[in-house]
Amino acid sequence: MRDNRPVNESQDTSVDIEENAARTHERGSRLYPRVTSFRSRRGALTEAQQSTWDNLWPRIGRDVADEQIDIDAWFGRSGPAILEIGSGTGTATTAMALAEPHVNLMAVEVYRPGLAQTLQQIEREGIENIRLLRGDAMDVLENMLSSESLTGVRVFFPDPWPKVRHHKRRLLQGPTFAMIADRLKPGGVLHVATDHAEYAEWIAEAGNAEPGLTVLDWESPMTHERPVTKFEGKAQLVGSSVTELIWGKKTA
């Protein structure tokens, strides 16, 4: 999810994401005043990416909106539902979907070229258990998912917004943990990974303070094995260690 992607200033279709964000600011969030945790980026699709997009997006993708998702109907089957927030170019998304064919995996991302690359991987691998959402993850959590509708939530390498004045933009804060806890089924799991030491402490403190969650060890109802992405590989080369944080939704 970390914004390590190149900026392409060619005019692109990401403009509508910015317009949607502006409209969200106007109407206000039902959770807390909207401060986005991402940077808007523009990037043009290649001809091949556009072709794949035109072919697959109408069936397995949708833009974020206010309507709730009927998850079983969208996948055409019932199964454990997992939401990945900030899927980037889809490296982890597709690998974990292949490792968990019984799971209905929804991935939300704002960056259209990243989604296009994910679609290309889905097409190459013939993956059937991924659905994609384009827009703000908080809108998905607030407006598109019902209470106790998810088996798991994954947040890998969220932007740490390291400057103190930008901490308000951090995704993983108290209200977000409360929302995720509500959307998880009893026994459901939240898995977070970050290579930013200070943000890891921030995340741990906020997550541990959420009364609906309890700290788990590595064992849980979903896999936590992640492929090492190019971004993570670069972080390891410069000596950055990765912190994995896992919580479970408390049962009655």
Q: Known binding site for S-adenosyl-L-methionine: residues?
A: 84, 109, 136, 159
12 is catalytic: no
Q: Cα-Cα-Cα-Cα dihedral of 29, 82, 226, 37, to 10°?
A: 0
Q: Which residues pair with 189 in a beta bridge?
A: 152, 248
Identify the active-site residue in 12, 16, 72, 159: 159
* Tokens, residue 193: 């990974």
- How many Å apart are CA 232 and CA 215, to the nearest integer? 24
Query: Which residues lie below 8 Å from residue 242, measured CB to CB, with a gap of 6+?
Result: 193, 194, 195, 232, 235, 236
Q: What angle do CA 89, 198, 84 make, to 5 degrees?
A: 30
How many helices (DSSP H) and strands (DSSP E) are in the chain? 9, 8
- How many Å apart are CA 91 and CA 156, to the nearest integer? 11
Q: Cα–chain-centroid distance for residue 181?
A: 15
Binding-site residues for substrate, in ranges, read 163, 195, 229-232
Q: Cα-Cα-Cα-Cα dihedral of 97, 98, 103, 107, to 10°?
A: 10
Q: What angle do CA 79, 85, 88 make, to 5 degrees?
A: 115
Q: Which residues are annotated as catalytic?
A: 159
